[in-house]
Chains A and B, each alone.
Chain A
Amino acid sequence: KAGVTQTPRYLIKTRGQQVTLSCSPISGHRSVSWYQQTPGQGLQFLFEYFSETQRNKGNFPGRFSGRQFSNSRSEMNVSTLELGDSALYLCASSLGSTGGSGYTFGSGTRLTVV
């Protein structure tokens, strides 16, 4: 079966701009979680969507938002970009429960803010 698809793979934006990243989960997976990965902070949880509803949210400012569509595809948006937003953004697909299965990650979108 197809894996988790993230687009685009690379992005370069300037400060103040906004960006939208996309994630298509594994077919049948209804949960999409987003993580920010930086060398100094590791994998930080942004938010999770399940059946088009945001179910959990991490400690990120309101500039970070997301949504999920009826086909389970998810987008995350970052507005008013800051230099510190430069990171690898990973989405993770799962069935929606942490009781017995882990994540399948996409390849990520590497965002560089200049």
Chain B
Amino acid sequence: GENVEQHPSTLSVQEGDSAVIKCTYSDSASNYFPWYKQELGKRPQLIIDIRSNVGEKKDQRIAVTLNKTAKHFSLHITETQPEDSAVYFCAFPHGQNFVFGPGTRLSVLP
């Protein structure tokens, strides 16, 4: 099956700094890569996604970069704010469903 690695597992940053989370995958046929954010006690929510024909996508303070050759893609959050504190999951298509990375717990310190 699909092997998904996500690093780091925990990340603490000072408010205003940047945060980067990286995921690697093994299935070269993957062509759609979403990221989910799950705040404490809430449902995972799709925050950004990227398709394989694009190298980078930005949405305000959030960006995702894709390196298909190296089989990894990364979530970048700039100018972090306390409300960015959450668990972030990458996901990969596996057939008609998704396999999720183990998650990264991001803490933004005031």
Residues in B with CB closer than 8 Å to A102 are 32, 34, 36, 46, 49, 91, 98
A97 touches B96 (CB 8 A): yes
A105 touches B44 (CB 8 A): yes
**A-contact bits for B19-35, CB 8 A (1 contact / 0 none):** 00000000000011010
Interface size of A as a range: 20 to 34
With contacts A99-B31, A100-B51, A102-B49 taken as known, whether A45 is within 8 angstroms of B44 at the C-beta atoms is no
Total number of B residues with any Cβ neighbor in A under 8 Å: 24
Number of A-B contacts (CB under 8 A): 61
With contacts A90-B43, A104-B46 taken as known, whether A31 is within 8 angstroms of B96 at the C-beta atoms is yes
B96 touches A96 (CB 8 A): yes
Chain B residues proximal to chain A, CB less than 8 Å: 31-32, 34, 36, 42-46, 49, 51, 89, 91, 93-103
